[in-house]
Structure 1
């Protein structure tokens, strides 16, 4: 991207700085500076982008994977796109399948699967269904702000609780506290576990990097609330970003452990597809003095590339920098007494009644 087309300032309340084109986009619109400085330089002064939500009817809601380095085999995403606006989100490129930008569109043009509960009920009721823990909200946070209005996650959780079906969450949304009544009851039967994502303890950095997510201290309070309610809870330090957040690794683990986290994990920054451009724009706007150094360290962990999608190394990277971070995490993990969260119980599952075209008449 030439200098005339580069975003000149961050957009208040948003993680991405521009409408980065999706890889399947047939027509791309770009701005051209007319000499009045009106294309990108003044964007920060324009009215804020509004979040748009489109309701959609899903044909199926359970997504399955056999990736050896992912800790679940099936997931359900009640929404597409995420208003939290985390600039580093690995799910951003999924918006390209909708012919939308993985940049600003991902956090401003959202989709709510209003029939998700109905579809999940039908899929769980199939004779051939085999129970395995469902990760609820992986490609998008199940407890992002629009859940307050749509309550799709709540409905899915009520269905899973009624069926005694195990479920797990990774979230940075404090709205999960609303559902502590269900979560606490499910926890007593080993049917739920939660990982709270904590990227940084620095409020200023968090506000720039994940602008509509809960503040770091609020996430620590969430860990404490889940722990006190008896819900198995861990902390996920994700992503770890060299020369930006990696120095906080031990501090985050100590704070999470003090709040009641029983387990912990970490993931190195991943930059698949268009996320490379989204991230580079953000880096140049917020850390121009060290942008080249950050990218150099990332490339050292990815075989000289911005990203390597190979199973086994994509989550942690490889090489001296990656090995050092892995060792630091291992030492802190042992010192702080972390352990694995208890395995979820699949033996209690009771299939729901299949939906009847005659409703509940009989």
Structure 2
């Protein structure tokens, strides 16, 4: 099967239907209006953000600053994963697209530091619509007897964590196949994952650049106009952005630190740590919802990664930051300034920042 994307085939196989020739993008305000009037976000795509030279400079600066930390977080979650399976065969299944670069980092870490070779696929999961069951069947048919380890980039308020659990339950009810719904992430600031590299809310650069750091693959699409029964969920390959693609360079920059952080990663990964799912991030969001009179919690997007996405592809109302001087959010401040969005200091949260979406038909005072 030919996989789309700009990553080497040995790094990942995207199980998606190629919709590259179909025009389905909508402008930010048009798309926001459609979503808020009932159209599901997965039925269309935003116009892909093309980063400016200033923003790329900020990306490279943040990658230089965070590459070793990303490597360490990769090492910690990979060590925990290695001990979890204890020589039992397993397959990495990253959730497209934020999970894809993280899945590749984990795959490479397992190979280079533990000599553990695992297949890696990237498949679609969509909030309120579930995981791509066709892709799941494809993987299970080709790897009988293997367990699946789902991977994502980070947690926000836990919507995808809950969606994965619900999807695995539905899959069991339909097919009698039990799947492990534990979601591995690099960062778990929402306290809704038990397999993580850190619970610090810091910038994972793959949140910044969308497709240009994720194999030039779009968000996944589930629109029955183009996706039939038996099809994988869809996605596009952005060939016109090939000159701006830093997907492989991002992986290589982080991976070159693996050897240096391995000893510390093994120490932290073997250390007993409280992995209780407290969902404290969700409690913070309930406070924000009350303080800012927000009708729909879906209009609150917590954490550095989700706040970045709000600024890139939604209609923001305002940005809440725990500390305006925090170096980890400089790109957030830059994007907010470029878009004329208010930034407000708000200290009563576990997250570094939150993005608040502008309701187009009321709901916020």
TM over 0.5: no
TM-score range, shorter chain: under 0.3
Q: Which has the larger radius of gyration?
A: 1
- Name the TM-score, length of structure 2 as normaliser: 0.28
Greater helix proportion: 2
